[in-house]
Chain A
């Protein structure tokens, strides 16, 4: 099955071609089914590859497929080749599996939209690029996928481009990502000049020759991480992600929660052999991750748009993943990436179902009491909320707990405290969202109340499937302390560089501390839930009641970061360009060009006086010329 590796990205690309050229003007059902079937086919091939990989001995679980030699210049060579190993296989399964469900959901959600076919073309194209990103066996193929998903993200955020706000949200995402990509590109250049290759599997052994803390490795890691902060919406480049919610909700679920935004985490884990060599870069990653987790979680506490809450929640959860990377718990990061894809995909699709049922209303202050009207959505949303809050038994508990435990274990107690606080906020804002949306009295308009309905089967079935995964998805990583064998950790371990020794599968004696921490994080989650319960359950907060105190205003306005960026960066740039336009462009460049023109024109004005138009003047000139020529000739002949 691994010989067919190339089919995995090929199917979605085929879907793009079919929907672009062949299925023009065909009914929605066919267009959507073809697009979903293509991703489903990729998923099947990926499962086949996974089974084959399982059958191999743990140390040689990798398969590289070279399609063609892509760029060969001097001694630089880049192959267009795919790599299937423990890490990329998990990503392939998550990407194709979650994408398939979201494609199915979208057939219901986008029903009747005039851009229906265009939507599925973009969605398939996105899956293709995402698969390039995770399957590439070198940084350059990864970069192509990286840029491609950025493009699709831009196209899909601005999908309803006639709304100027949505179009500019797309531009914002694109530009913010560009800033990060700049770092990623520099990192690739530096990797090539340092190692002479860009292939992951070739760099890994070479990197071992460098001492821990080598300057060039630190530079590479920091530049790579700059790329990751852009794509994965970390401080300071996170502001695009909340705005990205302007796109259709399935897009938010697929691109801006489950897959694309995790690309940065994937890239850091993929480069773990470099990061472990650089304690400085590790600290930067851990701190940025932890601070982002807390920062975004606090903003999420007071947001009133259902998708904005989930967006800040995503930023926060990505922060957790980077925190895990930063303390060397790479497997925990990927584990959380996977469980997050399930429950955050579920939550976004659930919010989409709510928005659909509420006739495009997104303000949770105007919802309430939807529990009885949309039972399937409610129950699946509850599962997702419990999973993200970290309630034992669900996927989010195992992964988030592993991250917090590994942070504690690596003696970063301050980081652990930040993470635990963020976890408390997470439980609080998610249950605030749940109570405001599904409990209490209905607060919307009469016509909305009359119209509220459960979503069609095409939308609820993916919800149920994702809910099931949000429950069972965590059991592949049950820690040793709870009697599990953590097969997920064991599976990924051969890929993880062991240089720092801050992590590993070994546990000595009775893990008392681990039990204590586990209880602490459950208590924290329960406290958050109870606080949200006492504040919001059974109450019917009016629009005015939310967002009164100055602290709330600060949070509601997202710490005014957007305004700060505008004043500190955008406005000075605009002013600078105006100066350049006035003095450099109009003054210097235009002045030089016009100067040349007017000089020649003036010279011409002088010379053109010779051209009198009187024929006899020309004849005189000609005669004088003849006389001069003759004199010269005679002079030479006779003289």
Chain B
């Protein structure tokens, strides 16, 4: 069975769904951050697959942008996580509810 576009997109959707569920349900900040990365890469996968299908270069360029942004995001995100750890001594997102109305 040949691997078609639909398969790639399906995989991408599944990965994205896992990422979303991880962000919404997990309590550990590091896991949440990893799930965000997972979502980004799921999107990257769909971009690449669609670019191959449409013989289009531009979508691949966007993937590079996404990778760059993701790298920056990880750098900033981890820095924030370290300061949260220093300040609160926990990685549990439920403990960080200072914005409660």
Residues on A close to B: CB < 8 A? 608-616, 619-620, 623
- Chain B contacts for A612, CB-based, 8 A: 97, 100-101
Tell yes or no: B80 within 8 A of A by CB.
no
Question: What residues of chain B lie closer than 8 Å to A613, measured between beta carbons?
Answer: 96-101
* Interface residue SS majority, chain A: helix
Known: A610-B101, A612-B97. 19 other contacts (CB 8 A): A608-B101, A609-B101, A611-B99, A611-B100, A612-B100, A612-B101, A613-B96, A613-B97, A613-B101, A614-B93, A614-B94, A614-B100, A615-B93, A615-B96, A616-B24, A616-B25, A619-B23, A619-B24, A623-B24
| CB-CB nearest in chain A for B94 | A614
Q: Name the residue of chain B whose CB is nearest to the CB of A614.
A: B97
Q: Is B13 an interface residue (CB 8 A)?
A: no
B23 (CB) vs chain A CBs: closest residue: A619
Q: Which chain A positions have C-beta within 8 A of B100?
A: 611-614
Contacts of A609 in B (CB 8 A): 101
Complex Cα distance, B20 from A620, in Å, reads: 9
- In the bound complex, residues from chain B placing their C-beta under 8 Å from that of A616 are 23-25, 93
B94 contacts across to A, CB distance below 8 A: 614
Can you report 23 A-B residue pairs in the complex whose CB atoms are below 8 A from each other? A609-B101, A611-B99, A611-B100, A611-B101, A612-B97, A612-B101, A613-B96, A613-B98, A613-B99, A614-B93, A614-B94, A614-B100, A615-B93, A615-B96, A616-B23, A616-B24, A616-B25, A616-B93, A619-B23, A619-B24, A620-B24, A623-B20, A623-B24
Residue ID in chain B nearest A626 by CB atoms:
B20
- Name B's A-contacting residues (CB within 8 A): 20, 23-25, 93-94, 96-101
CB distance from A27 to the nearest CB of B (A): 72
Write the chain A residue with the least CB distance to B29: A615
For the complex formed, measure the closest distance between the CB of B12 and the CB atoms of chain A, giving whole angstroms.
16
Nearest Cβ in chain B — how far from A427, in angstroms?
A: 88
Residues on A with C-beta less than 8 A from B101 are 608-613
Q: Which 9 A-B pairs have the closest CB atoms?
A: A611-B101, A613-B100, A613-B97, A608-B101, A613-B99, A614-B97, A620-B24, A619-B24, A612-B100
Tell me the bound Cα distance from A620 to B32 in angstroms. 13
Q: How far is the CA of A616 from the CA of B98 in the complex (A)?
A: 13
CB distance from A384 to the nearest CB of B (A): 84
Least distance between B36 CB and chain A CB atoms (Å): 10
Q: Which residue of B lies closest to A605 (CB)?
A: B101
- A608: nearest chain-B partner, CB-CB: B101
Cα A608 to Cα B99 in complex, Å, equals 11
| Shortest Cβ gap from A473 to chain B (Å) | 87
Residues from chain B with Cβ under 8 Å of A615 in the complex: 93, 96
Residues of A close to B97: CB separation below 8 A: 612-614
Given the complex of chains A and B, what is the CA–CA distance between A615 and B96 in angstroms? 8
Q: Which residues of B contact A614 (CB under 8 A)?
A: 93-94, 97, 100
Distance in Å from the Cβ of B85 to the closest Cβ of chain A? 16
Task: Across the interface, name the chain B residue whose C-beta is closest to A627.
Answer: B20
- Across the two chains, which residue of chain A brings its CB closest to B101? A611
Q: Looking across the interface, which residue of chain B has its beta carbon closest to that of A609?
A: B101
